[in-house]
Amino acid sequence: MAVLSLAKETEFGKRMVNGGRLSVPSVYDTPLSTADGDAWRGGPRPGASMPDAPIAAPNGQPMFLTEAFIGKGMQFTLLEFGNGAAIDPPEGVETIRIGGDSGLVDAKGVAGARYDAEPGTAYLLRPDGYVAARFRHPTHQVLDAAFKRAAGLAGGLS
């Protein structure tokens, strides 16, 4: 706190504050995250904060991905990238679908690029917006195990 006060008043104090480092999100390595089992070229790994991206509602209204996430009540949420078949999420997990007939629209491909998404890709997001797990083509069983692990429920931890 003293350094921030000095930074407001003195030149040497300003040099002590690295404003760029204050905005870098942490990546949490925790047993509550499910390790990658698929190949990834990019995208947020388990324990990383979800990146935001411009998207549009099905009616074309511009919005951001975090708005859709917050609109779900900041619960465990499955972020799906459409492949024509919806994934059956575990009970208590909300869904955000990008693409497909009734999903949100990623017309510029920004969300897909930021998440290294292919058709069928899915991310399990924690209520705080961090990635609990990610999959190329998840099944209900692997999603259920990842959800139980992230929630700290019995049977989910190995």
Identify whether 141 is part of a domain. Answer: yes
**57 is a domain residue:** yes
Query: What was the pLDDT predicted at 156?
Result: 43
Q: Which of 16-20, 64-68, 114-118, 135-139 shows the lowest per-residue confidence on average (mean pLDDT)?
A: 16-20
Q: What is the pLDDT of residues 99-144, one digit of tens each?
A: 877 789 999 999 999 999 999 999 999 999 999 999 999 999 999 9
CATH of the domain at 82: 3.40.30.120
Query: What predicted TM-score, i.e. pTM, was given to this entire model?
Result: 0.81
| 18 occurs within a structural domain | no
Inside any domain, residue 13: no
- What's the rounded Cα separation, in Å, for the pair 14 and 16? 5
**3-state secondary structure labels for all residues of 33-54:** CCCCCCCCCCCCCCCCECCCCE
With respect to residue 6, please indicate whether it lies within any of the assigned structural domains: no
Domain that holds residue 56: 43-151
Flag whether 137 is in a domain: yes
Residue 50 covered by a domain: yes
